[in-house]
Structure formats: C-alpha cells, structure tokens
A and B are shown apart, each in its own frame.
Chain A
Amino acid sequence: MQSKRSLEIGTGLFVVLGFAALAFLTTQLPGSSLRLKGGDQGYRVVAAFDNIGDLKEGSPVTLAGVRIGRVEAIAIDTRSFKADVTLRIDRQYSEIPDDSDASIQTAGLLGGKYVGIGPGGSETFLKDSGQIEFTQSAIVLESLVNKFFANMASKGQDAQQNTAPAATGEQEKK
C-alpha cells in the first residue's frame, strides 16, 4: 500500500497548501485583525503628530533618505488628540541622538507617505520606548491649495475673501 500512502500524502499536501493559500489571501491581504506582524528585531520609539496624512502601518522610516525602520503602529491619544506613531528602528541604527526630529514626508508628488528622521546634536541616544519630541506633521496638499487660493483672492479685489477660513494643517515645529 506504499502507492496509496504516497497518493494520500500528495493529495493532503495539495489540499492543505491550497487552503493555506486561500487563508493567506483572505486574512493577510485585506485589512484584517488576523494579520500577522513582522519580525520583532529593532527598538521602538513613539512620535506624536498633529496630522499623519495617509501614513500607514508598514510605511518606511528614513534617515537621510536611507530606510532605517518602519512604522509599526498608529494610535490616537485620546487626551491630546494627536496621533501616536510607533516607529520600529532597526537595531543597527542604535545611535540616533535623542533630540532628533521626525517629519512626515511624501515620496514624489503622489507617492506614499514616510517618516523622515532629522538627526539632532545630542550626546545621548534614543532608547527603546523612547519619545521623539520634535515632530512635523504631514503637509496636506488640499489645505496648501486652499491657502494659495485664499491668498490669491485676498491679494485681488474684494476683502470678503479675507475672512475665508484659514487653512488648517500648517506646518509647525514645537
């Protein structure tokens, strides 16, 4: 019955692989709570942003344009109404000054958002579960456009446009 055994093993493997593939497609691709998280290497720091634009979990974290980690989690702080973004930085980049700043930037005009780290000058370094104090929010293109047109209009004729609501989401550095 050797052949029957191998036949059943082959069929079983095929069916298991097939359902594994189906499970992968249904749970790992769409936004699902069953999604597996990546590896655990590296250390985590938190940065609070006023507005993260369309930054997503898994977006890159870069320093001088080189990827040094990823966005691991995004949560909202219910008291300050800021977005707490957890960055997982690869262990090999352990000597980042703790007064560095984090800003949300856009790859190209329409590309995805990423977090850029600008190194500070401190002698001490960011540690695991540390906090990045200086953050700069995402530039929201629509509000820039709004602002631009509001300016144009106010420069133009009627003063009515001057009272147009000021654009939100402007950059700030705390």
Chain B
Amino acid sequence: MTPGTDLAAVAAIRRVGAVAVFLGQILARIPASFGKPSLLIAQIYNAGARSLIIVMMSGLFVGMVLGLQGFNLLQRFGSADQVGVAVALGLLKELGPVVTALLFAGRAGTSLTSEIGLKATDQLTAMQMMAVDPVRHVVAPRFLGGFIAMPLLAAMFSVIGLFGGQLIAVAQMGVDSGAYWSNMQNAVALRDVSEGVWKSVAFGLACSLVAVYEGFNAEPTAEGVGLATTRTVVVSSVLVLLLDFLLTAAFFTNS
C-alpha cells in the first residue's frame, strides 16, 4: 500500500489523485465549518493575522526595491514619472500574489502542517474512535482559514508595496507625488487588479491544500512531521510558480 512500491510515475499520479480526493473531502465539509465560526476565526487568525507582520514588512521592502529598480530603468528613457506604473503593475500582477504566497507557504503553511501532523500522532485516531470526523473538525477549518487569509494578505502586501515605492520614488528620487499616483491610476485597469486577486485566490487554495494534506498524511513521528513540513514548503513553492505561469498565460492578451 505504500506509494514507494509503485513505479515513480504511478506514484506521482496516485499522489495527485489522493490530493484531489482529499480536496473533495474537505469541500464536502466546508458548509459545516461555517456552522462553527469560532474554529474558523481561530484559523483565520493563525493563518492571516499572525502572518501580517512578515507580509507587510516584505511588501514594504519589495515596493521600495521596485521603486529603485523602476526608477533606475525608466530614468534612462527620461520617463522616471512612470515609475508608479512600474511599481503598481509589478506588485499587483506578479510580486504581490507570488511573494505573499511564498511567504504564506513558509509562515502559515508550515505551521498548518506541523499542527495537523502533531495531532496526527494520536489525537486524530482518538477522534475517529470517538466518531468525531477529523477532516471536519481539524482539517476543513484550517484549509478554509488559509484560503480566506491569502487573498487578503496579498492585497495588503500590494498596498504597502505601493507606499514603499512612493517612499523611494517620491521622497528619495524626487519624482512628483502627483505624477506617481496619477500616472499609476491612468495606467492600471481593473483587470490588472483582478488578475492579481485571482492569482492570490488560486495560490491560497494551492498552499492551504498542500499544507493540510501533508500534515494529515504525515508519519506520526517527530521526523515524519519535520519531513512533511519541508515537503509543504517545497511543493507549495513550486506549485505557486507553476500556477503563476499558467495564470499569467491565461490572462495574457496581446493588446
């Protein structure tokens, strides 16, 4: 029954199937977890509010870097005024969702995995013996919490980044602040914003699912939980970048 006995390709497909089945199980219990808001609130707090500081700090620095790099590049064409556009599009469409998702996988994903993994030692079995559904009480609220938190975190990342870019471009490089914001507002369309939001929703789904799956299927030992945590980060990160490419291609219009 262990995946190791199959061929590598078969094992990989089986893993994908197992994750999909697991997602189905979670989705079936989503309505029930809205019925217990206190569990959900705790998980939104865990995944979201506790990632807030790291996400905001990273957003600030990424925005500042975009401000510097954008200014440096645009200055060569005499259009340093457009730096706001570069910062906004870079953040909204790419860096906001992607960097937030990577941070989210590292900060919230790992904590989800290890939490569920540690519970998996005995508590999940005990719950099953008491006829308490562990997917419903442990997994679904955590999954949903992460799924809800991720787009909100990405939005905050982008907003902080815009002000970080302003900090550099306006306060330091002397770009006019009216030009920074008005050029940005003229160049950014609603679809640019929604592209970023859709991306962050997809990344939230992927990261949360990977985290709870790895936790739920971790070997119930200290070593197993450690391995599962590592796998969460690796798989989520690769998945986020792959999804990012697919979504960028899907949203790409040649106009």
Contact = CB atoms under 8 A, between A and B. Distances in A.
B45 A25 contact: no
A18 B42 CA distance: 16
B159 interface: yes
A21 B156 contact: yes
Interface residues of A, number: 36
Contacts of A8: 41
A58 B179 contact: yes
Contacts of A28: 185
A21 to B, nearest CB: 4
B88 interface: yes
Nearest to A28: B185
B248 interface: no
B152 A14 contact: yes
Interface of B: 38, 41-42, 44-45, 48-49, 52, 77-82, 88, 92, 148-149, 151-153, 155-156, 158-159, 176, 178-179, 181-186, 188-190, 192-194, 196-197
A112 B81 contact: yes
A67 B4 CA distance: 70
A165 to B, nearest CB: 30
A11 B41 contact: yes
A18 B48 contact: yes
A93 interface: no
B14 to A, nearest CB: 37
Given A70-B178, A112-B81, A11 B48 contact: yes
Identify the interface centre among B45, B80, B183: most chain A CB within 10 Å of its CB. Answer: B45
A9 to B, nearest CB: 10
A13 interface: yes
A13 B52 CA distance: 11
A18 B79 contact: no
A30 B151 CA distance: 19
25 contacts: A7-B41, A7-B45, A11-B49, A17-B52, A17-B152, A18-B151, A18-B153, A19-B152, A21-B158, A22-B152, A29-B92, A29-B188, A30-B185, A30-B188, A31-B185, A58-B179, A58-B182, A59-B178, A59-B182, A67-B176, A107-B78, A108-B78, A108-B79, A109-B78, A110-B78
A6 B42 CA distance: 11
Interface of A: 4, 7-8, 10-11, 13-15, 17-19, 21-22, 24-26, 28-32, 35, 56-60, 67, 70-71, 107-112
Contacts of B193: 25-26, 29-30
Contact of A56 (B186, B189, B196): B186
Contact of A18 (B152, B181, B188, B196): B152
Nearest to B155: A21
B185 A10 contact: no
Contacts of B149: 14, 18
B57 to A, nearest CB: 15
A14 B52 contact: yes
Contact of A24 (B42, B77, B159, B189): B159
A22 B196 CA distance: 11
B148 to A, nearest CB: 8
Contact of A17 (B77, B156, B183): B156
A110 B48 contact: no
